[in-house]
Structure 1
Amino acid sequence: MPMTDSPLAFGIIGAGIMGERMLAAAAGQPESPVRIAAIWDPSPVALSRIAVAFPDVPQVADAAAVVAASTCVYVASPPASHLGHASAALAAGRSVFCEKPLAIDIGDARAFVAGAGASGAVNFPFASSPGVAMLERWLENGVVGTPRQLTIEVGFAAWPRPWQADAAAWLDGRAEGGFTREVVSHFLFLSQRLLGPLTELQGTVAFPEDGRSERAIDVTLRAGAIPVRLSGRVGGTEQDDHNTWTLAGDAGTVRLRDWAIPERLGADGLFAAAPDAIPNAQARPIALRRQLEGVVRMTRGEPHRLASLAEALEVQETVEAILVL
């Protein structure tokens, strides 16, 4: 794999929400760790939108042309196509940065990870989140003490969320979609990364509408030795997207709220945000920029904090197990 790119030649397959967000994190940024070598999407509408917003980004004829132009390929297409694009990139000697899940068939995902080696990672931005970094410092400094209970709650006014309407065909389908795959997976990754392997899953999942994705989950499991209560609802809030990840211990309680805001429980029984906390709209581009820095290190064979393929597979195993409870 060539290592002479400075910055790294980064190609994007998929010009939807995540493809465009990653593009914005890289294109035109001062001292960007990557340069956008190529982008492709089968939708002319999507590519037209990209051409207006990012006129200097090279658009190519197909996914193979993205692979040919790049040292690392970012796979941001719908889940059913992830494995094909990722496998083609690895076969061509490129590194791969992929959206989750790795595949829609868990057996295919296992086989892919078994043969992929270390030239791949999955985009779980909590790996680079400023808010998560604060949680980690609190844990290291003994703010929680010995962890006793983790509670994860997610809620949505509707599913898909308003900004995902263009992708509703797969985001609200049983095969690829649903909030457990799309959102809960991130919090399972966070739990696994900070507390340990996910085991002892029990609970229920509700599919009240034929052909559509789940509308509620209520499960218990463990992250390492820590009991976890996980719940999710569509229609349980007026907010488009509300979530909390709350870890209680014998010395204190901390949480991450609405993707980005680290908070500590005070003696008054109220949560207070860390002094430097910022909302997700500001935190997301910071995390994605750090993810790109991790992509460069991963491609060079250097240590990084990105979610490994093996970690992503473990999360996917838990997600798919929830969906058949």
Structure 2
Amino acid sequence: MAAINLGIIGFGIMGERLLRAAVDHAAAHVRPVGVWDPSPAAAARLAAAAPGVPLLDGAAAVIEACDCLYIAAPPKAHLPMAEAALGAGRAVFLEKPLAVDLAAARDFVAKAEALDTRAAVNFPMASSPGVAQLSAWRAEGGVGDAESLAIEVAFATWPRGWQQDAASWLARRAEGGFTREVVSHFLFLTRRQLGPLVLQDASVTYPGGDLAETAITARLTAGGVPVTLAGGVGTTPKDDHNTWTLRGPAGAVRLHDWSVAERLAADGTWQPAPDAMPNARLRPEVLRRQLASVAAMTRGKPHPLATLREALEVQQVVEAILAA
């Protein structure tokens, strides 16, 4: 089966990361046919990353050239670009969040569902081997009925060191912050593993002006299971540290630093899965699986990617936390 034609709008960190994965690891599934980004530096960066992929002269040209549009622009551009692509009969693969305007996001999702459009959102945990290992342990009875979940995220600085080129929006309350960018992934994982999310209470700390949050706490339920959430900037020497820990009467499992699945041993130590590996090493395989699923979605076939409805449910909780 021929690879689907993939267009990319937004050639920042995520756009370049997905393009490199498409060229290096997923050529059997997707063929990049064009990129557009208004940044003056985009052309040189694209030429270095994928010399055979053209920088086209606008979003309309990318939509015209592709079967599926990947939207990796800042959040305010997500819905207008998605609507244009869906209106042209293309499939859409969106970065999260759908939008920071919840009313617009709800309207978009309702219309897209009514028209049975081909669209999905890039939550890579949908394709994570580490998450699959957690699910396998749970299926074997390694946790039993879930009793509690704790989510913790921590950062040395925000934005993280490798995100500084996008600090103009990632560091601002309007579109950025770690709750939208990072916590949303763990809320998606929680929704998939346990069920619908209900926020009970939350607190958020802002440093002043229009800067994004520096700390959050929240209590939720997911499918009725109690969930605690905590996050902060300047609370770890690491660029990025996180844990997702699920406990039950038969034991506990966790995912830490995005990719490492571990289970609690009888001696109280956390033991990683035999094939566990750091996120940087695992990422190419995760993105290859994501892109294989993008091709399936574009063809109208079943796939595990995050739905628009799942992304909307996550975003509703995220925005409620940020408004606390």
Calculate the TM-score normalised by the size of structure 1.
Answer: 0.97
How many residue pairs match? The answer is 321
Question: Which residue, 54, 58, 63 being the options, matches 2:59?
Answer: 63
Distance 2:25 2:76 in 1: 31
Q: Structure 2 CA distance, aligned partners of 1:111 and 1:153?
A: 32
For residue 295 of structure 2, what is the aligned residue in structure 1?
A: 296
Could you tell me how far 1:28 is from its partner in structure 2? Answer: 4.1
Following TM superposition, where does structure 1 have runs of at least 4 consecutive aligned residues deviating by more than 2 angstroms? 28-32
Deviation string 1:53-82 (CA, Å, 9 cap, x unpaired) is: 210112211111000000000000111111
Equivalent residue letter for 2:2:
S
Instruction: Please name the residue that 1:318 is paired with.
Output: 317
- What is the CA–CA distance in structure 2 between the aligned matches of 1:203 and 1:180, rounded to whole Å? 12
Q: Percent identity?
A: 58
> For residue 318 of structure 1, what is the amino acid of its counterpart?
V
Partner of 2:30: 34
- 1:209 lines up with 2:205 in the alignment: no
Listed as ranges, the gaps of 5+ residues in structure 2 are none
1:109-141 superposed Cα distances (whole Å, 9 cap, x missing partner): 011001113410000000000100101101111
Question: Secondary structure of 2:183's partner?
Answer: helix
Structure 1 residues 25, 122: closer, same or farther in 2, change over 3 A?
same
Given that 1:263 and 1:272 are in contact with CA atoms closer than 8 Å, whether structure 2 keeps it comes out as yes
Deviation at 1:209, TM superposition (A): 2.4
- Which of 12, 16, 21 aligns to 1:16? It is 12
- Taking the TM superposition and a 5 Å limit, the aligned residue runs for 1:43-192 are 43-117=39-113, 118-192=117-191
Output one character per residue of 1:7-57: Cα deviation in whole Å (capped at 9) or x when no partner: 000100011111011001111446530000111111120221111121011
SS at 2:244 equivalent: strand
What does the per-residue CA deviation read over 1:63-105, in whole Å, with 9 as the maximum and x for residues that have no partner? Answer: 1100000000000011111111111000000000000011121
AA partner of residue 307 (structure 2): S
Alignment of 1:214-293 (within 5 A): 214-293=213-292
User: 1:15, 1:47 within 8 Å by CA — same for their partners in 2?
Assistant: no
Residue pair 1:40, 1:47 contacting (<8 A) in 2 also: no
Question: Alignment RMSD, CA only?
Answer: 1.1
